[in-house]
Amino acid sequence: MVALKSFRATGPSFADLVPYAGLVDNGVLLLKDGSLMAGWYFAGPDSESATDLERNELSRQINTILSRLGSGWMIQVEAVRIPTFDYPSDDRCHFPDPVTRAIDAERRAHFAREQGHFESKHALVLTYRPLESKKTALSKYIYSDEESRKKSYADTVLLVFKNAVREIEQYLANTLSISRMETREVFERGGERVARYDELLQFVRFCITGENHPIRLCRCISTGLPPPSSSMG
């Protein structure tokens, strides 16, 4: 028998290194250390046309909103570049003369033909880590089903996190254009079947692998932990 022990890797695998455990609620991701995570896509006003005073005021407003969080919170801001081939079709062209229409047609052909056209998207990720003495109890949340689970510390922390996320979202909506990363339902097969796709899991997978495509959840999953194949593709 060949001794293969020396050829086997003993270090942690990729699955051991990533901190993500699974969904515990719509748009809420539980990490392995008991932390909770939520995210948004956001867009601000045009900074190129804004004055220094306007940019400073915008920064002040955002800092005031985020400073309400207190301790135990982490803010992560990501800027991603996504390939795009979207250009207004010919029937949406309203140029008044042949010259401008020809220029627009040339731009449309160039845009569809050439590589290297990208669209910028900005993401804000909010993570809350409970107190050290209590985070183990929160980690056990993923191993109990909703029917048998009684009101616990994990439920309390989840409720506090959701309330804080909702409050921050309300304040940010007055300053920025934001869209929460949530689970979306899509009707398929002519409305016969409902498929559920989660945007937060899609964003996490995109950051890890560079592959940006929808992450479909199993039909048996409502708000609990999806299986590994669904959570990380």
User: Per-residue pLDDT tens for 72-121?
Assistant: 899 999 998 887 777 778 777 778 888 988 988 888 888 777 676 788 88
Query: What is the C-alpha separation between 214 and 185, in angstroms, rounded?
Result: 12
Query: What is the C-alpha separation between 51 and 49, in angstroms, rounded?
Result: 7
The angle at the Cα of 119, spanning 88 to 110, to the nearest 5 degrees, equals: 50
Read off the tokens for 10: 């003993």
Distances (CA, A) of 208 to 102, 120, 205: 42, 18, 5
Q: What pTM was computed for the model?
A: 0.71
- Residue 75: name the closest of 122, 139, 43, 16 by CA: 122
- Residue 231 — pLDDT band, cuts 50, 70, 90? very low
For residue 232, the model assigns a pLDDT of 41
